Amino acid sequence: MVGYDPDSQCSSLSTGEIATAGSASGFVTRAMISPFDVLKIRFQLQIEQLSSKNPQSKYHGLWQAFWMILQEESPRAFWKGHVPAQLLSITYGAVQFVSFELLTKLMHHATSYDARDFSVHFVCGGVSACAATVTVQPLDTLRTRLAAQGEPKRCISAGQNTEIALFLSENFLSIVVGEDRKHNQADKIVIQVADEMKLTFRNHDLLSDKAFFVQNVRHAVICMYQGEGLRAFYKGLTPTTIAVIPYAGFQFSFYNLLKKLYDWIVPNEEMKKGNVKNFVCGSCAGVLSKTLTYPFDLFKKRLQVGGFEQARASFGQVRTYTGLLDCAQQVARDEGARGFFKGLSPSLLKAAFATGFTFFWYELFCSLLVTLKDPGASKKQKG
């Protein structure tokens, strides 16, 4: 049972055990659904219409995008950003499920509400997800940037570019023709040309920290912190928070409701006890929740790659947004109503598998932990 239930044996689990089950569930699920996440992010960040009729559109369908990424970037591209994504999932799962179990237990004992009510699951699910989101937002931003970029992977900071330009401008002729001609007229002309090239590079933003391709998590952290500061790790937090409260609230409440509906529809008692029910109900809850809150997820991804435009230049047009409202206005103006739902197909596939497997693995791990604590518990329940 997800959430506090006085009649469930899982209510005997400690906070540490709940955190373990939540983290394990997040870890296994993330490894399984990473390719869908990469496809979803690529679709969300594409400005051009997702249509084969648009010659400027890099991606226009699930299979087309899948094969293009496979051919251009190798199978490993589908697990880009997997390290921060796994850290995100493990941490998020632990914080969310621990918070949810504690909040539903508190509601059950401190108020007149039943912890199993739809409204209780909605409120507690939203609050617990909000706490988890704030905790893992830096990891989510890292994951998005790593998954969003193409090839090649390189990072030259503004300081490094400046040093290279200065070195070439001051030492070019010395290297080519020797130190003795360093101060002649030809050398001065070359220095002047190199300085002008450096100024041109700067004016075209090529010496900006925005123009980098990150190589790994450590590299991404350094580049983001040096180029954009600590706030870069929390880009997109506003739409994320706005979206995650109803999204997670619907996830938990729909899951609880659908399980009751499943028990009513399916007459076979053996099928009711199986883990298949948890996966099916979780998948349906994920699809319903994602559809209702999807535009905010798109806004979040667009804002998270702000300051990262040059790394995405090969994918097509790029946009700069000043905030949530500006992002919504630009999407509506340039891409129309359908622009708010770019990437919905892979997102729904991901939501179905992610939510289904998250609840499936969480309930399974909780049952295993109960069995390990009390080997005779399952036999007593059957008897």
Banded model confidence at residue 172, pLDDT cuts 50, 70, 90: very low
pLDDT at 262 over 50: yes
Cβ–Cβ < 8 Å for 47, 318: yes
Secondary structure in 3-state letters for 214-227 = CCCHHHHHHHHHHH
- How far apart are alpha carbons 221 and 162 in whole angstroms? 21
Q: Is the pLDDT of residue 217 over 80?
A: no
pLDDT at site 205: 42
pLDDT at 165: 46
Indicate whether 233 pLDDT > 70.
yes
Residue 142 domain-assigned? yes
pLDDT of residue 169: 47
**Residue 166 predicted with pLDDT over 80:** no
What is the average pLDDT score of the chain? 76
For residues 210-220, give the mean pLDDT.
60
| Whole-number pLDDT of residue 145 | 72
Domain interval for residue 306: 9-150+236-382
Is residue 357 in a domain?
A: yes
Top-confidence residue, 54 or 122: 122
Residue 157 lies in a domain: no
Q: Does an H or E element contain 136, and which?
A: helix 118-148
Name the more confident of 261 and 167. 261
- Is 323 contained in some domain? yes
Q: What is the band of 234 on the pLDDT scale with cuts at 50, 70, 90? A: confident
Q: Is residue 214 part of a domain?
A: no
65-91: pLDDT as tens digits: 888 888 888 888 887 767 777 888 899
> How many distinct structural domains can be found in the chain?
1
Tell me which of 70 and 166 has the higher pLDDT.
70
Is position 195 within any domain?
A: no
Q: Report how far residue 186's alpha carbon sits from residue 173's, in angstroms, rounded to the nearest whole number.
A: 9
Per-residue pLDDT, 317? 67
For the cut 60, the answer to whether the pLDDT of residue 222 exceeds it is: yes
Q: What is the pLDDT of residue 206?
A: 39
Check pLDDT > 80 for residue 55: no
Which ranges of 213-275 does DSSP label H, i.e. alpha helix? Answer: 217-228, 237-265, 269-273
Does the pLDDT of residue 20 top 90, yes or no? yes
Longest dimension (CA), the chain: 99
Q: How confident is the model at residue 44 (pLDDT cuts 50, 70, 90)?
A: confident
Within a domain: 168: no
The verdict on residue 254 lying in a domain is yes
The predicted pLDDT at position 77 comes to: 80
Question: How far apart, in whole angstroms, are the C-alpha atoms of residue 180 and residue 313?
Answer: 44
pLDDT of residue 289: 93
* Residue 185 banded pLDDT, cuts 50, 70, 90: low
Which residue has better confidence, 52 or 127? 127
What is the Cα–Cα distance from 30 to 36, expressed in whole angstroms? 10
Worst-scoring range by mean pLDDT, 11-15, 82-86, 373-377?
373-377
Evaluate if residue 27 carries a pLDDT over 60: yes
More confident: 247 or 54: 247
- In CATH, what number is assigned to the domain containing residue 30? 1.50.40.10
Mean pLDDT, residues 285-299: 89
Query: 382 pLDDT band (50/70/90 cuts)?
Result: very low
DSSP 45-80: H--S-S-TT-TT-S--SHHHHHHHHHHHH-GGGGGT
Q: Which pLDDT does position 204 carry in this prediction? A: 42
| Encoded amino acid at 123, one letter | V
